[in-house]
Amino acid sequence: MIRTINLAAENANPLIPHTAELIVGAIAFTLLFLVLRRAVVPMFEKGFAARTEAIQGGIERAEKAQAEAQRALAQYTEQLLKAREESQTMREEARSQGVAIVEELRAKAQEEAARITASAHASIEAERQQAITSLRNEVGAIAVELASKIVGEALDDQARQSRIVDRFLDDLESSK
């Protein structure tokens, strides 16, 4: 009998499994497949669904955040443009006010210069008239004294002296 087992063992192909092993393997595979299908596969599907949902939600949140960032950027750009326009307007107003102030100061300075010039002319004219009057009186006194020395008599009458001096000065002015 030992010999028959040895012969059977020698005739058996080591690559082909025994029938009992095939049956036990098929039952074990079927049980494992059923357990995995009922317990593990739904957990994987739930995990995949949750992950897909999380990814989709993340993408939606990212899109919303990007849209919000775009709106904020547009708003900030608009505010920046408005601020630049306002600053440009303020600069232009400051320039125009500066020009107006310079023109106003220039006009005041010209008015002041004209007033000072007019005052100086009036003062000069008053001094000229005073000098003319003073010279007339001195020339008149000298002329009366000279005339009285030439004539040999005193010319004390004031009205006569005035007439003589005026006539003398008129003659002098007309001879020029």
28-75: pLDDT as tens digits = 999 999 999 999 899 989 999 999 998 888 888 889 999 999 999 999
155 neighbors 161 (Cβ within 8 angstroms) = yes
Which residue bears the tokens 């709106």? 71
Question: Where in the chain are the domains?
Answer: 16-175
Q: How many CB atoms lie within 10 A of CB 143?
A: 18
69-103: pLDDT as tens digits = 999 999 999 999 999 999 999 999 999 999 999 99
Residue type, 117: T
